Structure 1
Amino acid sequence: FTEPSPVLDLKAEYVGVTSVNLTWVVNDSASDPYTYRIQFVNDTSVKNLTSSDRKAEITELIPGTMYNFTVFAVAADNETEGEGSSIDLYTKPSPVLDLKAEYVGVTSVNLTWVVNDSASDLYTYRIQIVNDTSVKNLTSSDRKAEITELIPGTMYNFTVFAVAADNETEGEGVSTGLYTKPSPVLDLKAEYVGVTSVNLTWSVDRAASDLYTYRIQFVNDTSVKNLTSSDRKAEITELIPGTMYNFTVFAVAADNETEGEGVSTGLYTSKSQFL
């Protein structure tokens, strides 16, 4: 038997986490009875499989790992092989696990995640940061990232992609959505202090503040109460005359959960003229 010609146009139609689909072309007139030996090699093993078609699905690969795939055309005697044609590629890394925010601040967020792949010592990570108006990316060589220069009180979607050692082959992204904390309110003051009521006002200086609500906590020696305002002012009623109160105002983001740092003022209600 004459030696088959090398296969042509060897390429990966699909690259997954643990599998790769290869295709190729053969122009030899005698190629109908050919079979094909596919050799796949990484740093620790050499394996072979046989295909009777001009394609092969190679499974049980290691995630995020460099493989060399070589395809040999084999003549009808099942012995005479042509010269091999090769392609190098990385399998995709597995998705990261347990993505969470260790810290959420006003303009920064600290993310952490876990990776179990055996090849992960060589991974880097792309973190995509998206809000309503922008898409940004940063790269981390560790399983954590501090994302800075964020807008206070704003919804962000953070997606982390593991990247193999070729700095190109990415795993599927894993996402978490959260709000940064609003900035503290400014210029908190009592516009009016009465016998049983107090009118408070404050200001905010950030772009996202149109969507904020405000929690007002008012505390005396015997009770802690809260009320919510959708405006930058609040009338607090049913107070005890001549009593010291501490009023703390928290800006709350549009998720109605994420609160900024509280700003406080202490004052006495007026004494009743009838006492």
Structure 2
Amino acid sequence: FTEPSPVLDLKAEYVGVTSVNLTWTVSDAASDSYTYRIEVANGTSVRNVMSSFTRAEITELIPGTMYNFTVFAVANDSETEGEGVSIILYTKPSPVLDLKAEYVGVTSVNLTWTVSDAASNSYTYRIEVVNGTSVRNLTSSVNKIEITELIPGTMYNFTVFAVANDSETEGEGVSIILYTKPSPVLDLKAEYVGTDKVNLTWVMNDTASDSYTYRIEVMNITSIRNLTSSVTRVEITELIPGTMYIFTVFAVASVSQMEGEGVSRILYT
């Protein structure tokens, strides 16, 4: 038997986490009688897969790992092989696990996650930060990141992708939706102090403040109560004459109920 010609147009139709689908073509007149040997090489291990068609699904691969796939056409004697044709591919990394926020602040968020892939020491991570119409991407070489320059009191969708050592092959993204905290209120002051009531006002400059409400904590030595306002002022009644009160105002993001840091004023009725 003469050697078959090398296969043509070897390519991956699908690359997954633990499997790859390869296809190729042959132009030899005798190709109807060919079988194909696919050599699957990964660093230390080599195995062979046989196919009687011009395609093969290679399974049981290691996630996020480089493989060299070499396809040989085999003549009808099951011995005479053509020259091999190779393609180098990385399998996709597995999705990251246990994505969570370790800290949520006014303009920053700290995210952490885990990975269990054997090849994860070589991974980097792409973090997609989406807010409405704005999208930006950050990169981390470890399984945590501090994301800064966020807008206070705003919803963000953070998606983390593990990236293999070729800096191109990405795993499926894993997402978490979080709201940043509102900023503290500004310029908290009493517009009126009476015998049994106080009028407070404050300022809020956050872009998202149209959706905020405000919690006002009213505290004296013996009692604490909470009031709510949808505007940047409140009238607090039913106070005890001649008594010291601590009034603390918190901005609250309406959808998430995430509260900003409180700002306090001490006043006597």
TM-score of the superposition, structure 2-length normalised? 0.98
Aligned to 1:234: 234
CA shift for structure 1 position 235: 1.3
Residue 249 of structure 1 corresponds to which residue in structure 2?
249
Structure 1 distance, partners of 2:6, 2:263, is 75
- Return 61-70 or 226-235, whichever deviates more: 226-235
SS of equivalent to 1:32 = helix
Aligned to 2:25: 25
Aligned to 2:135: 135
Which residue is equivalent to 2:264?
264
CA offset digits 1:175-200 (Å, max 9, x no partner) = 10111111110000111112222111
Structure 2 runs not aligned, ≥5 long: none
Q: Give the structure 2 partner of residue 190 of structure 1.
A: 190
Which amino acid is 1:74 matched to? Answer: V
Tell me which residue corresponds to 1:273: none
CA distance in 1, matches of 2:72, 2:41: 14
* Over 3 Å off, 4+ runs: none
Q: Say whether residues 1:157 and 2:157 are aligned partners.
A: yes
Sequence identity percentage = 77
| One-letter amino acid of the counterpart of residue 38, structure 2 | I
Tell me how far 1:133 sits from its aligned partner: 3.4
In structure 2, how many angstroms separate the alpha carbons of the residues matched to 1:63 and 1:141? 18
Distance 1:256 1:2, change over 3 A: closer
Task: Write out aligned runs for 1:67-86 (5 A).
Answer: 67-86=67-86
**In 2, Cα distance between the equivalents of 1:256 and 1:191?**
30
Query: Within 5 Å, which residues of 2 pair with 1:34-45?
Result: 34-45=34-45
In 1: Cα distance, 2:110 partner to 2:75 partner: 59
Distance 1:256 1:14 in 2: 40
Spell out the pairing of 1:100-139 with structure 2 (5 A cutoff): 100-139=100-139
- 1:65-87 deviation line (CA, Å, top 9, x unaligned): 00000000111111111110100
State the AA in 1 paired with 2:123.
Answer: Y
Q: 1:90 to 1:256 in 2, by over 3 A?
A: closer
Aligned to 2:173: 173
Deviations 1:226-246 (A, max 9, x none): 111111111112222221110
CA separation in 2, counterparts of 1:138 and 1:159? 10
Provide, for residues 103-122 of structure 1, a one-character-per-residue CA deviation record: whole Å limited to 9, x for no partner.
11111111111001000000
Q: In the alignment, what sits opposite 2:3? A: 3
Structure 1 segments unaligned to the other structure (5+ residues): 270-275
Matched residue of 2:191: which SS? strand
